[in-house]
Structure 1
């Protein structure tokens, strides 16, 4: 434009000419019924009033029309996908045949919460129904999702099927395998019928170990199979896969999940997320899934005390850690990087590990864990920490997902302003896994620590530098103020904006230009209801009144119609 000497005024004249002469030529893309029901402007009127509004009200209505249409078609694609899944004849028939589940509940050292029982009822009803299960299980860190998923796996095993649990990292898969194997040993000791066998398949295992596990899976000598991406390798063949559980689902791509499902004959699917997802994102990203939420923590858990401190307070914090070590407390000390970076002035775990064990913490046993270790080295360090060989474990974010250490009840996060809000919340979830009072200490530069009032999400009139400072303050104040992961997730969405959260997870869905996922919840809800209602009575979009919808779907979203019967 600059090369042709076209400035703002010239561009506006071009747009005015185009709108005046061609807006009425544009064909409507929403059915009359939808326009009337939701009081939407027609497309040509919306275009005119978006560029050259006759009034503020008409400009607002034009905005609403474009937002509604954009999210309506996204929700329509989700509705088509869900309908396609539910239309599949379920090849698998689950039924509770023995006392396996009752006996499992007897060996637990705790009572399930009411929230866990409610979610279990939803999952059980799905599994026993004649429709395939496609459910998202949400819950905060430590809310007890894994035991719920294990009971679902036992329903599959009781019905004669295999269940697979796919985790994103080898250390997490290994932790699941150890915990579940321990529980199954207790169960097998009291259960007179079915003896449940657990198998662990990892990419890092020796070839002979992998071959042995693959044979167990193929012959159904393994009932519950736990693993990483190794589960989806071509040579892994399940004999009778009935249930797929995917842990930390956001860490897997759509294709990886599909590859695991293809190992069975339409198995039921349970995906788990330890990172609470805001309601608007659930409606858009996961609208094809039924959603269960565990919103209650175990009864003996005390809320974690979170405090914000400047770097000048570090000597006092180290004294607190030393004093608490005498009471049996263990501490995580987290740094953002493994080694010093030339670009960012961040503390490095390796350097500070050496410094701390020779100065402030010289009278304590200090260990080190970081991402450059292989999973066996990481596992060894975590188990040595669990066995109280260390009072303090210096770490990078590799501990964000890790084994439970009941006596690790202090976490000190350095350069806390460098972490995202959901990551801070995940790290905080590493402590407070017992009935002791746990502490999360966020350390940042003294300037941010001193700003105690940044809790309103108002970014107007801020320079880029001010904005980053302001957002860091809001993140840290939110951590101090809230323990609820769902509240944290809502704030995180507003801080980060929908773009970077939404972009990588759409799996081919259209890029959003008008709707704001963080702010337009009412429009999203309205459009979702309308889209799902339409597909419920016309799943093939064959009715004459839905011709426009069918036309747009075929023209603009052809890559997504593999999910539907409208091709």
Structure 2
């Protein structure tokens, strides 16, 4: 009996060679094949007798083959010509460069033919039509006479081949009809009825072989519903499991409130209302028995770090350590510097731990707050008494990396408190605070981050002026560079020039992209010979990057040419000009974060988006940065145009497995969220009635 989990080569007529080709389409099991959905449909549902066919139509005819011949045009092109007849007349069909057709079509046998009609050799002709035998009795066609699925393909795997294999699997699982006993529907009948859903077997049959568009839409709706439903079911399950765990410590705010307020009073600025509100939310979380799992989202420059510092201080006052994870060494060094300034008047020791800053074995008295990068995850150093893990730009850490950090803290906490026991009891968890400057649309927050409490820092510190942003076409490039030179020489401004690649690419599609190394040399010699330029990119050694950044901060460098390594968190007080080469290659969220690197001390800042692309889509997308300062608005635009991968950068959350569901469909997201809650209630009642 064929099962959904069986390898795809268990399907008849799929051998090792085809199975290897199917891997390129990420098809490895029977289920993968069934869930390889059409990307579009050819509408051959219009069935006509031959004498009613008109030029330019997509049509299906049923007729008998009366003649088959191979021919050549005057220029030597090969084609197969077939004469087809029915009771109303004759029509010619032509296949270009497909000699196998002569072996597939038999004289005096009846077939269904579907294709587009056009004049050829002064005759109305079906051009390269699909065909299949007209069986007796008539049966469901899969290549003709309906909405015909067209799939994502790869070399050696055509849509026609995929249709035949998928149909064979559906017929084996479902029987001849879509009703089934072998493929069960995991959704309860009550839930399907409430949300007006097809059964799963019916939906799978209709998504591949719909008779009409209504069937196709109903199938797509059910399967899109499933994608969002199971995504949110997993998210909710993670949340419930997390809430059952015990936190490593509970903050006693009565004992620590005065010291926390004292720290806040030493800051050289007053907290915004949003910072005060969210700091209070986090302190309330730290008092609970269950560990905090909160995501703090704030636009570039909104002041997330100081809110995280307050949480870290509360943790230290409770006798525990805070770990502050950063995605890059540059950002870790900056966080170390910022936190050192914040705690300059408090008895808090801050330790940095990166690939190039390894202080050796971490002892319990070595640091109250540890600022680290990925290097900390794979080091053998002890992380005892970790009460709070802060993860900056959390989407830049993979799911497994975040879990590894939490697990490492858990294990060290457990062994530190229970040296004679080896994991025989539930391990208390540290509190988790994740930070992101990537704006999160509501639809994404409900699905991707449903297992976290979401706080939005929706207020900017006073004095920040909007960054004036312009899209600069190639014919204005030289004028823009001359303006930048004038601003630097006349007003002592500093500028970033961001290039997307480190080395010139030989790929034709990337020839116009400015590589940082080449652009640096060109700008220094030809455009800005009288200015001091620096270069920074991700392949430089840490000491070299630090040296260049320090010179830039000290105004020993006028222009810093860089790759997007500066995108996240970097703070250069004097920089107020940002040039981004090949801006069309960046997502709007990334561009918004890059321009957030400038004007951070209240000065007027300017962002110039250089582009050589003339397409309306690129122009419309980049023009949004001229119109909108809101990161959330820009994220929603990018989500609509380019998808979630542009927001979050890496394929790690499961969103990129969505084939039919759309993150713009907030209505369906809300429905599936309600369905998940009802499903859990139904399952809970069933378990109560059947405790075994």
TM-score norm. by structure 2 comes to 0.68
Instruction: Provide the residue aligned with 2:483 in structure 1.
Output: 320
SS in 1 for 2:497: strand
Distance 2:636 2:314 in 1: 34
1:490 equivalent to 2:490? Answer no
Higher relative contact order (CA 8 A, sep 6+): 1
Q: Is the 8 A contact 2:272 2:461 kept in 1?
A: yes
CA distance in 2 between partners of 1:378 and 1:22 (Å):
66
- Judge which range, 170-179 or 120-129, deviates more: 120-129
CA contact (8 A) 1:202 1:228 kept: yes
Equivalent residue runs for 1:519-530 within 5 Å = 519-530=664-675
* Structure 1 residues 499 and 347: CA distance shift in structure 2, 3 A: closer
CA-CA distance at 1:509 after TM superposition: 8.7
Shift of 1:220: 3.3
User: What 5-or-longer segments of structure 2 have no aligned partner?
Assistant: 1-12, 14-97, 106-129, 133-140, 145-163, 411-427
- Contact kept in structure 2, 1:202 and 1:210, CA below 8 Å: no
Q: 1-side partners of 2:525 and 2:246: how far apart?
A: 65
Q: Provide the C-alpha distance between the structure 2 equivalents of 1:81 and 1:422, rounded to a whole number of angstroms.
A: 28
How do 1:442-481 residues align onto structure 2 when only pairs under 5 Å count? 442-445=609-612, 448=614, 469-481=615-627
Secondary structure, aligned partner of 1:266 = coil
Please give the residue correspondences for 1:279-294 in structure 2 after superposition, counting only pairs within 5 Å: 279-294=442-457
Aligned partners of 2:334, 2:682: CA distance in 1, in Å?
A: 46
Distance of 1:295 and 1:55 partners within structure 2: 48
Residue of structure 1 in register with 2:176 after alignment: 21
SS in 1 for 2:455: strand
- TM-fit CA distance, 1:35: 2.0
TM-score, normalization by structure 1? 0.82
- Say yes or no: does 1:202 pair with 2:369: no
Instruction: Find the aligned partners of 2:383 and 2:686 in 1 and give their Cα distance.
Output: 37
Counterpart CA distance in 2 for 1:503 and 1:389 is: 33
Q: In 1, Cα distance between the equivalents of 2:342 and 2:348?
A: 10
Q: Give 1 or 2: higher strand fraction.
A: 2
Partner Cα separation in structure 2 for residue 310 and residue 81 of structure 1: 48
Superposition pairs of residues 15-414 of structure 1, within 5 angstroms: 15=167, 18=171, 21-25=176-180, 26-43=183-200, 46=203, 50=207, 59-96=216-253, 97-98=255-256, 99-185=258-344, 187-188=345-346, 195-205=347-357, 210-211=359-360, 214-215=361-362, 218-262=363-407, 263-264=409-410, 265-325=428-488, 326-343=490-507, 344-345=510-511, 346-414=513-581
For residues 352 and 150 of structure 1, do their structure 2 counterparts lie closer, same or farther at Cα, with a shift above 3 Å needed?
same
1:500: how far off? 7.7
- Measured in 2, the distance between the counterparts of 1:336 and 1:357 equals 18
What value does the CA root-mean-square deviation take over the aligned residues?
Answer: 3.1
**2:248–2:387 Cα contact (<8 Å) kept:** no
- For the 8 Å contact 1:50–1:59, the answer to whether it is kept is yes
Larger mean CA deviation between 396-405 and 285-294 belongs to 396-405
CA offsets 1:97-146 (integer angstroms, 9 cap, x no match): 23221112112222222222222222222111111111111111111111
Displacement, 1:181?
Answer: 0.9
Q: Considering only CA atoms, is the larger Rg found in Structure 1 or Structure 2?
A: 2
For 2:251 and 2:215, how far apart are their aligned partners in 1? 55
1:423 corresponds to 2:578: no
In structure 1, C-alpha distance between the alignment counterparts of 2:131 and 2:589, rounded to whole Å: 41
Summarize the Cα distance change of 1:541–1:505 in structure 2 as closer, same or farther, 3 Å threshold.
farther
The CA deviation at 1:498 is: 4.8
Q: Assess if the C-alpha contact under 8 Å between 2:312 and 2:369 holds in 1.
A: yes
Q: Is the 8 A contact 1:113 1:296 kept in 2?
A: yes
Distance of 1:72 and 1:544 partners within structure 2: 25
